Structures are given as C-alpha cells and as structure tokens.
Structure 1
C-alpha cells in the first residue's frame, strides 16, 4: 500500500465512522444477500457483531502506518475464523460486501482511487488472515 492509499482509506473511513451503525447494518444485509449460507455463522446479536466489526475496521485503518503492530491480532483473527467455518471464498464475498457498503456510505466520495485503496487494504489484511489460517490447518 502506498502512503496515498493509506491516506485515502483513513480519510474515507473518517466519513463512515459517524454512520458506523448504519454501515454495519448495510454490510451484513449485503453479505447475507450475496451469500445466505454465511448467516448461520453469526450466532449472536448482529447489532453487537456490527459494532465489533466497525471497531475492528477502525483499529486496522488507524494502524495502516504501522501494520506490524496489529499483525499478530490479524493473524489470530484469521485462525479464529476457522472455528466458524470461514473459507477463502468467504473473504471474496466479504470484500464485495465491504466495497459495496463503502460505496453506499461515501456516495460520490467513493472514487476509483478510494476503491483501489480500500481493495489494497482489504487484500493485505485478508491475505495475512488466510495465511495464518492455512498455517494453523497444516
């Protein structure tokens, strides 16, 4: 990720944070629309799960200038996702739901450069999670 991409992600997330509850609701509705089979993976209160999701995204976004600091937590998250039955294909669905949610929340501020920056961020973090999960399975 380039410094410009990090700035785009951080600046755009600052615009999403005030509508975090709505963004989380949009995200999960879209995720379940794209792949209804993932719904049973979410056993608890989806509103609470949404708050956790937005907090986690916030921590990641604010740590983009120092990814090494959060890598162990990201790796642990990837390993924990194994317990829920998450597979590599689920990461693609999550990416689609996330980008769609950002587009809805940011409107015209979701420029092609912003989309590319978010895609780079997601791919970076998802790759760390998947690699940790694969290592744990081996």
Structure 2
C-alpha cells in the first residue's frame, strides 16, 4: 500500500469510528443481504460480534503503517475462522459488504481513490487471514 492509500483509509475510518454501532449494523445488514447463507455462521445476538468487528477494523487501520504490529492478531483471527467453517469465497462477500457500507456511510467522499485504497486494504488483511486459515486446516 502507498502512504497516500493509508492516509485515505485512516482518515475515512476516523469519520466512521464515532458511528461504529451504525456502521456495524449497516455492514452486517448488507452482508446478510448479499450472502444470506452466512447468517447461520454468526451468533443470534450480534452485539458482541459487531463490537469485535469494529475493534478489529480499528486495530487494522491504525496498524497499516506497521504491519508487524497487526499480523499476530490477523493471523490468529484467520486461524480461528477455520473453526467457524468460513470458506475462502466468504471473504469476497465480506469485502463487498465492507465497500458498500463505506460507500453508503461516506457518501460523495467515497471517491474512486478512496474505494481503491479500501479495496487494497481489505485484500491485504483478508490475504493474511486466508493464509492463516489454510495453515490451520
């Protein structure tokens, strides 16, 4: 990732962070709309799941300039996804839901450059997690 992409991701995330409950609701609503088959993989009560999502996103976004600082958490999360029956194609649904949530939350500030930066970020994070998941299989 370029420094500019990291700046874009971090600055747009700072705008969403104060609305993290709303953003998490939007994300999971979109995810289950795109891929309803994923709903059974999640708990009935999503409150803690939503909190964990936003905490992990925050840590990942904050750590983009120092990937070594977030690799252990991403690796651990990826390995745990093996036990949750997550399939490699599920990451595509999550990425699509994330980008659509950001598009809705940021409105006209979700420029093509911002979208590309977030897509690159997600690809990087998901790549680490998928690798750890394969290693745990």
Same fold (TM over 0.5): yes
Residue aligning to 2:89: 89
In structure 1, distance between residues paired with 2:45 and 2:5 = 33
In structure 2, distance between residues paired with 1:17 and 1:96 = 19
Gaps of 5+ in 1: none
TM-score, structure 1 normalization? 0.96
SS of structure 2 residue aligned to 1:16: helix
Q: CA deviation at 1:44?
A: 4.7
Residue aligning to 1:20: 20
Q: Paired residues, what number? A: 137
Residue aligning to 1:41: 41
Q: CA deviation at 1:47?
A: 2.3
Q: CA deviation at 1:15?
A: 0.6
Root mean square deviation of aligned Cα? 0.8
Maintained 8 Å contact 1:16/1:23: yes
Q: CA deviation at 1:43?
A: 1.4
In structure 1, distance between residues paired with 2:48 and 2:21 = 10
TM-score, structure 2 normalization? 0.97
